[in-house]
Structure 1
């Protein structure tokens, strides 16, 4: 009985050792193949990079590069162009790089957009955007209609279409993608140029709430003064979070046509509204708001006090006002805040 157990254990041990040996052999073979592949890619990059750099930087004719559409060579081209796209600043250079990418990698990415592998599709999307390969816009739109794509792919597709100023986005986004979050919408809308963004502003009142938030956020981030009248209209028409976001946008823009409704917000029962209104008064340097800003230095909410101090500091005589509060106020919190903003940046 003992001999049988020993034989059985010996067989299992030998089997495991054999499997481990085969696994090690596979890993070594794979490692050797990867090293060989990497060496080929690097050798090809070293061979062509002077010519590629000359084409991008100086606009030389695309000749002298014998380019076969083989995967390893296409990978080398991709890596080389990815390196340059991160450091280029001139529009002409970016345009030439985009033309090279289209010439050499268009078919390469078109195939990968049709791949069943998520990683290949995402990789293709990232490079299509980086290289601004507008010729592949129809293929990107086609991918958006596939049922098996992930949420991450969907968002990146919409960002690409926005970056390429795809006119169909004005119908595609609100009709087929009305379920997206404010963050998703904002990441898409920030890529739009003025003309296409206008189309979404025109449909603001019919849009879902997260979409409205995103539009106001974009106006705020871009400090788009051309939408000041629109933003004031939203501020006066809506309540709650939309009113607050419109006020934030006006504070970032730094301009309002009618200051009186904004001055009223300094007396709001909601601390967030008092804070943002205080920011607006400081950004436009509206002297009518100074007495109330001084009162807000005594507010029960730290954020309101801090913003009031910052806004006062933005006025030409702001330091003198803060100094007076520091010397005369009986409120320790107000004095502390006045002292803080007097010494900011000192």
Structure 2
């Protein structure tokens, strides 16, 4: 019994000792972190007016020479703050120039780190500051086997920001495993000239890339894409046809509405919803009857779009009021009342 008590005492003492060691270690780490944070804030107070004068007025100062990690972190945080509020093109170029000058090596080291979080953090700021001094490093990362999917998509987003000319081949062949959602987040960063390469190569693109291209057109909402979208709608089937229709609906205009009116009777609720959207966007009086019928549709999405479309007409609220007072469909009545109160 006595021996067991001794063992219990030893185990308890060891456990308490380990807890004290851990507490001591955490206290030292907390103290070091607080000290580092205080130093960063002090450097930020010193560097802020210098950075402001450079970004806004182009005045260069020799006082801004961040040599260590703490000083570079202070510069990073200041530039990140300015990147959120600057709108002028010249000011943003000055911010990029400052980041290229003082943070290139800082991020190069982090891109080579074994820690995934350090590499991702560096990629985040490289994109945020639009830095072009590390493009070779990014291409080098693309050639590594250990690169994660998150890193890959982030690098491709950065390359898209710089209008990388071979991006079509990368997304269609080299990295064909990327999803449509991932491709869309990359393509949306392309300018008109480079995005047009994807329009030209649409028919040879894999399905997920095709869907991404159509989604991005819907985001851009440029009328110049209408002939292309209408050709896809007429010649493709399935998901591609539906995505083309959604993009047309986002643009909200077609040269001839007649081919789209039959969609109000489609078996697919997505097509009925898009028909309602187009009728409302173009305020096509010949489609009012379809909208009234679609307000009684079994799909909430179709009813909502029909109500919104009716509300866009000059006499729309009167029509909605009549439906609310006369219909026997409680769902149609509720939707009509909602859009009477909500408006457009």
The bucket for the TM-score relative to the shorter chain is over 0.9
- Alpha-carbon distance in 1 for matches of 2:331, 2:76: 58
Residue 121 (1) aligns with residue 119 (2):
yes
Aligned counterpart in structure 2 of residue 186 of structure 1, from 167, 180, 184: 184
Deviations 1:99-135, CA, capped at 9 Å, x for gaps: 0000001111112111111111101000000111022
- Alignment correspondent of 2:32: 33
Q: 1:43 to 1:235 in 2, by over 3 A?
A: same
Aligned counterpart in structure 1 of residue 171 of structure 2, from 170, 173, 180: 173
Q: 1:336 to 1:79 in 2, by over 3 A?
A: closer
- Alpha-carbon distance in 1 for matches of 2:30, 2:333: 67
- Alignment correspondent of 2:200: 202
Aligned counterpart in structure 1 of residue 80 of structure 2, from 76, 79, 82: 82
Task: Give yes or no for contact 1:236–1:243 (8 Å, CA) kept in 2.
Answer: yes
- Alignment correspondent of 1:148: 146
Shift of 1:335: 4.2
Q: 1:233 to 1:36 in 2, by over 3 A?
A: same
Aligned counterpart in structure 2 of residue 94 of structure 1, from 92, 95, 120: 92
Deviations 1:272-297, CA, capped at 9 Å, x for gaps: 21111111111122222222222323
Equivalences for residues 40-79 of structure 1 within 5 A: 40-61=39-60, 63-79=61-77
Q: 1:277 to 1:149 in 2, by over 3 A?
A: same
Shift of 1:221: 1.7
- Alpha-carbon distance in 2 for matches of 1:325, 1:333: 11
Q: 1:70 to 1:264 in 2, by over 3 A?
A: same
Residue 139 (1) aligns with residue 137 (2):
yes
Task: Give yes or no for contact 1:281–1:311 (8 Å, CA) kept in 2.
Answer: yes
- Alignment correspondent of 1:7: 6
- Alignment correspondent of 1:312: 310
- Alpha-carbon distance in 2 for matches of 1:114, 1:337: 57
- Please report the TM-score for the alignment, with normalisation by the length of structure 2: 0.93
Task: Give yes or no for contact 1:56–1:93 (8 Å, CA) kept in 2.
Answer: yes
Shift of 1:88: 1.3
Task: Give yes or no for contact 1:252–1:283 (8 Å, CA) kept in 2.
Answer: no
Task: Give yes or no for contact 1:42–1:76 (8 Å, CA) kept in 2.
Answer: yes
Partner SS for 2:29: helix
Q: 1:18 to 1:305 in 2, by over 3 A?
A: closer
- Alpha-carbon distance in 1 for matches of 2:340, 2:312: 11
- Please report the TM-score for the alignment, with normalisation by the length of structure 1: 0.92
Equivalences for residues 187-266 of structure 1 within 5 A: 187-266=185-264
Structure 2: segments with no counterpart, 5+ residues: none
Residue 161 (1) aligns with residue 159 (2):
yes
Computed over aligned residues only, the root mean square deviation of the Cα atoms, in angstroms, reads 2.0
Point out the more displaced range, 180-189 or 298-307: 298-307
Partner SS for 2:21: helix
Partner SS for 2:85: coil
Shift of 1:336: 4.1
Deviations 1:264-321, CA, capped at 9 Å, x for gaps: 2112122221111111111122222222222323333333233222212212232333
- Alpha-carbon distance in 1 for matches of 2:122, 2:165: 22
- Alpha-carbon distance in 1 for matches of 2:30, 2:336: 65
Q: 1:12 to 1:298 in 2, by over 3 A?
A: closer
- Alpha-carbon distance in 1 for matches of 2:266, 2:4: 84
Q: 1:243 to 1:25 in 2, by over 3 A?
A: same
Point out the more displaced range, 218-227 or 312-321: 312-321
Equivalences for residues 277-292 of structure 1 within 5 A: 277-292=275-290
- Alpha-carbon distance in 2 for matches of 1:3, 1:303: 76
Deviations 1:311-345, CA, capped at 9 Å, x for gaps: 12212232333344445555554444333333324
Residue 17 (1) aligns with residue 10 (2):
no
